[in-house]
Amino acid sequence: MKIWHMVFREMKHRKWNLAGGILAVLLASGILVGSALALAGYGRHNKRLLDQKRRDLETRVIRWNNETRKDMKKLGFNIRIFPEGTDEEGVLSRRYSDKYMPENYATILANSKLATINHLLPSLRTEMDWPEYPGKPIILVGIRGELPLSHKKQKKPMETGQPVPPGKIVLGDLLYKRAGKKVGEDVVLRGRKFTIHKFYENKGNINDLTAWIPLSKAQEMLGKENLINEIEALDCTCATTDLGRIAAIRSEIEKCLPGTYVMEHKNKALARAESRQKAEEEGKAALAAEELHQGKLRSQLLAFSLVILPLTVVVAVIWIALLALLNVRQRRSEIALLRAIGTPAKKIMTLILARAGLTGLAGAIVGVSLPLIAFFIVIRITAIDSPSWPAYMFPIATLIGAPAVALLAAWWPAAEATRTDPADILRGQ
């Protein structure tokens, strides 16, 4: 009788022993494969969720920064550059500097590769009375329009940074009302006639009491030819509020114009920028906390698996070994007869190990298939991601490893069976 025929007949004869062996391998391989797939699927799903949260945060930050830049542009310049020797308290009390610098300072800045500011606007600014229309003192500002930065794409000028045409004047809301004139009509300022070019609606700040005229005209009126006393700019990193920002701006400007004084005008847009930066920091902190939490959870699952999986394998090996030993003892007479009629010990050992190997293979096939089927069902009905292809190498390894483990577990009982003298067994029958 061929050896494989004997193996299958013996397996059919001792069904419960066979079922016990298959169950041992099934449980061990099922737990191994199920744990591996669950960990791989959880890791990939968790990575996708964290990546999505990270992209959402980046999208919100970009939107916040764009909104802040728009707010800053609406609310005007926030960086003021003054001549050397300017007293900050004097600027705050008079609203302008009593020191002067060459007009070409603005050109020098525009031609340098400034990275921290945009929208350069040189001006000559002073406070004066308006005899023709009595009232509180006004702020006269002479401007030539924004200077394009040579290394940057030309941007649309700020509202108060647009040049004033020759012979024209632009009035703040309160001055426009004081003059009682309309756009296109003439007004007189210190004996000089100007045509109202336009007016700015109420801003709720000093601009409402400001009159803008061409820079050359203001220099002529004040006797300050080729001089200015302020350069306004907009911080191009206004969406950030770190302590090093204004220091970086001062450092960059002082390299071009040594001795100048830089003042930052904090306004509502910067307050909003601060709140947005705080929200960004909170979002990053929440994302980092979530990553830390998920990492700890994954570590705990991995640690649990590293304990339970080896224990499962050990229990399965012992279980299979005991079943193989029981099977050998139940077949002592059969083995003794085979030995007595001259069957080689090697063939008998092959018979026992073949049975163990087939038991391990059958248990592995079922033990691998069930977790795979269950996992694919879970993937279909939930949002859990399917693990990447390397995770599926584990079931293949289990299909190969389970029969090998079963053979190893049955080796000692098989060796014992072939070493026993058949005469001793038959004498006791």
- What pLDDT, on the 0 to 100 scale, is given for residue 239? 40
Are residues 347 and 255 both part of a single domain? Answer: no
Are residues 215 and 363 both part of a single domain? Answer: no
Cα separation, 380 vs 318, whole angstroms: 37
Last residue within a domain, chosen from 266, 298, 328: 266
Cα separation, 10 vs 417, whole angstroms: 16
Are residues 341 and 375 both part of a single domain? Answer: yes
Sheet with 261-264, strands from edge to edge, namely: 186-189, 192-199, 168-171, 210-214, 138-143, 117-128, 230-235, 79-82, 261-264
Nearby residues of 246 by Cβ (< 8 Å), 6 or more positions away: 262, 264
Are residues 240 and 306 both part of a single domain? Answer: no
Q: How many domains does the chain have?
A: 2
- What pLDDT, on the 0 to 100 scale, is given for residue 237? 52
DSSP 328-387: HHHTHHHHHHHHHTT--HHHHHHHHHHHHHHHHHHHHHHHHHHHHHHHHHHHHHSSPPPP
pLDDT in tens, 167-189: 999 999 999 999 999 999 999 99
Are residues 215 and 284 both part of a single domain? Answer: no
Are residues 248 and 172 both part of a single domain? Answer: yes
Taking the model in full, what pTM does it have? 0.48
- What pLDDT, on the 0 to 100 scale, is given for residue 190? 92
Domain presence at residue 50? yes
- What pLDDT, on the 0 to 100 scale, is given for residue 153? 61
- What pLDDT, on the 0 to 100 scale, is given for residue 238? 46
- What pLDDT, on the 0 to 100 scale, is given for residue 206? 85
- What pLDDT, on the 0 to 100 scale, is given for residue 240? 46
Domain presence at residue 375? yes
**Opening angle at CA 230, ends 227 and 233, nearest 5:** 130
pLDDT in tens, 225-258: 999 999 888 766 544 445 456 677 777 888 888 8
Cα separation, 135 vs 174, whole angstroms: 10
Are residues 217 and 306 both part of a single domain? Answer: no
Q: Tell me which residue range forms the domain holding 254.
A: 77-266
Are residues 218 and 177 both part of a single domain? Answer: yes
- What pLDDT, on the 0 to 100 scale, is given for residue 130? 94
Please give the helix or strand (H or E) that residue 127 lies within, else none: strand 117-128
Are residues 32 and 124 both part of a single domain? Answer: no
Low-confidence ranges of the chain (pLDDT < 50): 238-241, 243, 269
- What pLDDT, on the 0 to 100 scale, is given for residue 312? 67
Are residues 12 and 127 both part of a single domain? Answer: no
